[in-house]
Amino acid sequence: MWEKGTANSIIMKELEDASSQDYHFCDGQVISSMCTEPLEIARVAHNKFIEANLGNAGLYPGTLDLERQVIKGIGQLLGNENTAGGILSGGTEANITALWIARNITGKKKVIFPKSAHFSFHKACDILAMEPVMVDLNDEFTIDLDQVAAKIDDNLCAIVGIAGTTELGAVDDIPALADLLPEKAFLHIDAAFGGFVLPFLDDSPEFDFSIPQVSSITSDPHKMGMATIPSGALLVREREWIRKIHKDAPYLDMIGQLSALSGTRSSAAVAATYAAMRSLGREGYSELVKQCMEVTDYASQKARKLGLKPVMEPLMNILCLYVPKPRDIQKELNKKGWKVSVAQNPESLRLVIMPHVTKESIDGLFADLESLL
Ligand SMILES: Cc1ncc(COP(=O)(O)O)c(C=O)c1O
């Protein structure tokens, strides 16, 4: 493949071929992804900072400052502009890091989370040798509080609440979890998806740092934040907590370095996140969320006309529908070019209505769906 160098024109052709086999958000047929087309200005910013590495922060004081501003801005959105944190590779790394910090501070290993939690928490427990304690969901598809209460004991390190579950977009009762939290335990909120949606809803449930017991929050700019991949923010309430995962790296210029799981960290995604936030502003995100919710509502009405029942009234821009044999329907829709997914709990057809999904896409999808029922 690479004994000798290859001409750019050939490489470009090969890249075109590969890309043509991929799905693209701009085609409007991907209704299963929690990512979307980044803003144009975010792409430009990403390219401009393509060589910078925040893992060696001493070389990049400018990027470091952008990251500080991004974290402050996300903090303002999440009820506390004085948090510490950074931009990691995504929700998975942010969740792992949150539990790493909690484990090192409490010295305990038990983590309680709902069955709806993203699989990153299983990865975290595996890597960190922590004890996962999974809790059932109630009729509203949120964490069962009685079960949480029954599972709390002296070994508790952290409770995890989800603000926007991956499958349904449900939000756990975070104030109630906060009330149950023992004094020294952590309360981590996974708002990887909800972080850039819930603050812009007219009627958002409480889930952020305005609840005093909330210790840390994951919120992904590379999902509804319109930034480029890889951008996952972790915000923690107290700056010194981050020191608890610090490792010295004497060969690097560590000034301002974020203690993180990654060594090399994408400055490009930090710059892209900064650009997206500056360009849209809170007003722009608000408009975007409104648009997604309108399309979600539109899809929901179409579904009802076909006699399809939603699993729950969408709180966010995710719509899950009871359909007969969802896996078969998913396959058939895929033959027609659609990418939709299947939720497991309960089994249903799952539509994620990101900004690239328009009413026209929904019309096309439902026309094909109707022909399969
Ligand atoms: C609620 C939630 N948390 C965490 C993640 C993991 O994020 P990432 O894929 O960016 O690692 C996801 C991904 O979909 C998610 O929905």
Pocket of ligand 1 (CB under 6 A): 34, 90-92, 95, 118, 120, 162, 164, 166, 190, 192-193, 220, 232
Q: Is 248 exposed, middle or buried (0-12, 13-18, 19+ CB in 10 A)?
A: exposed
15-29, 150-164, 253-267, 304-318: which range is least confident on average?
A: 253-267
**Tokens 């490792």 found at:** 247
Ligand 1: centre distance to CA 340 (Å): 17
Ligand 1: centre distance to CA 170 (Å): 14
**Tokens 């203690």 found at:** 259
Does the pTM exceed 0.95? yes
Angle at 341 between CA 339 and CA 342, to 5 degrees: 150
Count CB atoms within 10 A of the CB of residue 22.
Answer: 7
Percent of the chain at pLDDT > 90 equals: 93
Do 66 and 219 touch, CB atoms closer than 8 A?
A: no
Ligand 1: centre distance to CA 368 (Å): 29
Ligand 1: centre distance to CA 6 (Å): 37
Fold of 41-278: Aspartate Aminotransferase; domain 2 (3.40.640)
pLDDT of residue 259: 81
Q: Atom 6 in ligand 1: which residue has the minimum CA distance?
A: 91
Angle at 345 between CA 339 and CA 347, to 5 degrees: 55
Ligand 1: centre distance to CA 117 (Å): 9
- What is the average pLDDT across 366-373? 96
Sheet of 341-344: strands edge to edge? 318-321, 347-352, 341-344
Least Cα distance to 196 among 170, 221, 232, 215 occurs for: 221
Asked if the bond preceding 230 is cis, omega within 30° of 0, the reply is: yes
Mean pLDDT over each residue of the chain, to the nearest integer? 96
Looking from the CA of residue 34, the nearest atom of ligand 1 is 14
Q: Helix crossing, 359-372 with 326-335: angle to 10°?
A: 120
Name 136's bridge partners: none
The alpha-helical segments, DSSP class H, found in the chain are: 8-21, 40-48, 61-77, 91-106, 120-128, 145-151, 174-180, 267-305, 326-335, 359-372
Ligand 1: centre distance to CA 35 (Å): 10
Q: Atom 16 in ligand 1: which residue has the minimum CA distance?
A: 166
- Model confidence at 333, pLDDT cuts 50, 70, 90, reads very high
Ligand 1: centre distance to CA 304 (Å): 29
Looking from the CA of residue 93, the nearest atom of ligand 1 is 11
- What is the average pLDDT across 76-92? 97
Rounded CA-CA distance 245/97 in Å is 8
Q: Of 303 and 263, which is predicted with more confidence?
A: 303
Mutation pick for ligand 1 pocket among 220, 318, 320, 350 (CB with most ligand atoms within 8 Å): 220
pLDDT of residue 250: 73
Looking from the CA of residue 232, the nearest atom of ligand 1 is 10
Ligand 1: centre distance to CA 372 (Å): 31
Residues 166-183 pLDDT 10s: 999 999 999 999 999 999
* 224 CB-side CA count, 13 A: 33
- What is the average pLDDT across 64-92? 97
Ligand 1: centre distance to CA 250 (Å): 33
Do 146 and 114 touch, CB atoms closer than 8 A?
A: no
Q: Is 123 exposed, middle or buried (0-12, 13-18, 19+ CB in 10 A)?
A: middle
pLDDT of residue 287: 98
Least Cα distance to 271 among 3, 46, 44 occurs for: 46
Mutation pick for ligand 1 pocket among 166, 188, 216, 273 (CB with most ligand atoms within 8 Å): 166
Fold of 14-38+281-372: Aspartate Aminotransferase, domain 1 (3.90.1150)
The helix/strand/coil state of 84 is strand
Rounded CA-CA distance 276/309 in Å is 36
Q: Atom 8 in ligand 1: which residue has the minimum CA distance?
A: 91
Least Cα distance to 215 among 103, 87, 90, 55 occurs for: 103
Mutation pick for ligand 1 pocket among 32, 33, 34, 119 (CB with most ligand atoms within 8 Å): 34
pLDDT of residue 255: 64
What are the structural domain ranges in the chain?
Answer: 14-38+281-372, 41-278
